[in-house]
Amino acid sequence: MPDRRIRLEAARLNLARIGMATPEDLRRALEQAAQVSAKTLGVSHVGVWLLSGETLCTCTVLYDTLQEGFRESEPLELSEYPAYFEALRTSRAIAADDAWKDPRTREMRASYLELAGVRAMLDVPILVAGQLVGVVCHEQVGQARAWTTEDIDFATSVADMLAVLIGQAARLRAEHALDVQEEILAEMRRMEALGRLAAGVAHDFSNVLLAISLLSQRLKLRLSEDPEGAKMAANIGSETDRGTRLVRQLLAFARQEKTTPVFVDLSEVVAGLMPLLETIVTSRHALALDTPEGPVTLRADRTQLEQIVMNLVTNARDALPDGGTIRVSVTETDENEAQLVVSDDGVGMDEETQSRVFEPFFTTKGGRGTGLGMSTVYGIVKQSNGHLELTSAPGEGTTVSIHFPRNADN
Ligand code: ADP
Ligand code: MG
């Protein structure tokens, strides 16, 4: 039958042309393949099932020729069909001319085949790198069908094509993850460069400020006869102190020196900080601390942990200008992770702010802010091999949760 052979070749070519630009295209690609295969083999349904565990097979695509469309189907638990499962693992194709009688498929007769009216099946395992990842099922409703060698060869090339598509989607996903990784790396390099710059400038700057501060004190003494002049000198002094504090924060941000991680109890660190935190917030603010019964030990630099809590609580306070509750909690998510959460139900952040919050010097607080709080937090968390999640919405408050690895080797 040369005609049929030409048709099959054309269909193979169509299959080979199915392409994907992003991993999200996989479903569409599988749908296209199922449709081509259904038309070419003239079967009632073509399903693509993917393993989503040891034995659970999920129907990803099911094309129905009669309805000329796609529909859904329940997942298939392969452990309920041991002969079929075994055949999938060991054969190139399961061509069951009469699926009700075939020893590999008859175990499905009562629970599935009769209900769906399926009488013949041509199923081919999908293998990626030698691993069974799924199966493509061609089903014939109504009567038995003698599958030809050509049918079987074609169905096998469909399965091979599907394997290529599935492998390609996995590669695209991995590449995408790498791109994201690259972006994070670039961001970290940028921060590092800024940190070095800040460290260099900050040292010179604190010397300049120290000189100004000393001079202003002497000037103030000299101006004891001139109250207005003395007040100006005092102002110079307090402005200089503000500058010094800012520089100190810059230095903290830029801190390149080795940290000293020791075993600390995160709950204890946070609890010990409470008196200091009370001085940061106003009388209109309440601090709620929630820690578990036992200690939450992790290896970390105590000062850095304190810095994180201080910065986050300061931001929460600023987000609650009319007062409110700031929650600080410590939890053991599992034996490998400790979690610190600081949340407020304050002003929150819009998306633009959220996308820039970790940027050094980014602030929405005008002259009152340094824009170094969150970038410092970010830097420390990265250094500790931890990760950070930020949830915020305008008017709904902000939650920052930090996950620390508990036995980090840093
Ligand atoms: P600063 O507090 O000096 O402005 P940060 O780096 O600590 O600098 O924070 C940067 C910006 O992120 C803040 O100016 C603010 O807009 C936003 N932000 C940080 N934390 C919160 C919060 N809890 N609620 C609302 N906005 C916040
Ligand atoms: Mg801040």
Residue 70: its H or E element: strand 69-70
* Residue at 349 is within a domain: yes
Mean pLDDT of the chain: 89
254, 276, 301: which is the final residue of a domain? 254
Tell me: do 156 and 278 sit in the same domain.
no
Asked whether residue 338 is domain-assigned, the answer is yes
Token code pair at residue 165: 């598509």
CA 393 to ligand 1 center in whole angstroms: 13
Q: Could you give the count of Cα atoms lying within 13 Å of 3 in the half-sphere of its Cβ?
A: 0
The CATH number linked to 87 is: 3.30.450.40
Q: Residue 39 has what pLDDT?
A: 94
Which residues constitute the domain of residue 337?
262-405
Q: Are residues 298 and 384 in the same domain?
A: yes
pLDDT tens-digit readout, 276-291:
788 788 899 999 999 9
Could you tell me if 120 and 140 are in contact, meaning their C-beta atoms sit under 8 angstroms apart? yes
The pLDDT tens digits of the residues spanning 26-62 come to: 999 999 999 999 999 999 999 999 998 889 999 999 9
Average pLDDT over residues 318-335: 93
Q: What's the Cα-to-Cα distance from 181 to each of 170, 174, 176, 188, 375, rounded to whole Å?
A: 16, 10, 9, 11, 18
233-283 pLDDT tens trace: 999 998 888 788 777 767 766 654 456 788 999 999 999 888 878 878 889
On whether both 217 and 76 belong to a single domain, the answer is no
Cβ atoms 120, 147 nearer than 8 A: yes
pLDDT on residue 51? 93
Per the CB < 8 A criterion, the answer to whether 315 and 385 are in contact is no
Contacts (Cβ under 8 Å, ≥6 apart) of 198: 250, 251, 253, 254, 360
- pLDDT value of position 338: 94
Residues 29 and 118 in one domain: yes
Structure tokens at 167: 């492998």
Measured between alpha carbons, how far is residue 30 from residues 21, 161, 393, 404 in Å?
14, 9, 38, 40
116 lies in the same domain as 86? yes
Q: Is 369 exposed, middle or buried (0-12, 13-18, 19+ CB in 10 A)?
A: middle
94 C-alpha vs ligand 2 centroid, how far in Å?
64
Q: How many domains does the chain have?
A: 3
The atom number, within ligand 1, closest to the CA of 362 reads 10
Identify whether residues 121 and 14 lie together within a single domain.
Answer: yes
Neighbours of 294 (CB within 10 A): 9
> Worst-scoring range by mean pLDDT, 21-30, 63-72, 361-370?
361-370
Q: Residue 408 — very low, low, confident or very high, per pLDDT cuts 50/70/90? A: very low
Residue 255: predicted pLDDT: 59
Q: What 8-state DSSP symbol labels residue 75?
A: -
DSSP 330-347: EEEEETTEEEEEEEE-SS
The answer to the question of residue 147 being in a domain is yes
The whole model's pTM is what? Answer: 0.51
Report which bound ligand comes closest to the CA of 357.
1
CB burial string 192-226: b at 16+ within 10 A, e below: eebbeebbeebeebbeebeebbeebeebbeebeee
Residue 358 phi, psi (nearest 5): -90, 0
Predicted pLDDT of residue 119: 97
CA 309/CA 405 separation, integer angstroms: 17
Which pLDDT band, with edges at 50, 70 and 90, does 409 fall under?
A: very low
Indicate if 217 and 297 belong to the same structural domain.
no
In this model, does residue 382 exceed pLDDT 60?
Answer: yes
**Cα(98) to centroid of ligand 2, in Å?**
72
> Tokens 């508990």 — which residue?
406
Q: Could you tell me which residue, 331 or 406, shows the higher pLDDT? A: 331
Distance 194 CA to ligand 2 centre (A): 18
Q: Tell me if 183 is assigned to some domain.
A: no
Instruction: Please check whether residue 410 lies inside any domain of the structure.
Output: no
Instruction: Tell me which residue of 6, 13, 7 sits closest to 33, measured CA to CA.
Output: 13
- Mean pLDDT in residue range 98-107: 97
Residue 327's pLDDT band (boundaries 50, 70, 90)? very high
Give domain status of residue 160, yes or no: yes
Average pLDDT of span 112-117: 93
Q: Lowest-pLDDT range, 63-67, 161-165, 365-369, 391-395?
A: 365-369
Residue of 281, 356, 374, 400 to mutate, ligand 1, most atoms within 8 A of C-beta: 374
Atom of ligand 1 nearest to the CA of 376: 6
Residue 371 has pLDDT above 90, yes or no: no
Give the pair of three-digit tokens for residue 83: 């002969």
210-234 pLDDT, tens digit each:
899 999 999 999 998 999 999 999 9
- Beta pairing partners, 401: 341, 389
pLDDT given at position 7: 86
Query: Mean pLDDT, to the nearest integer, of 204-213?
Result: 87
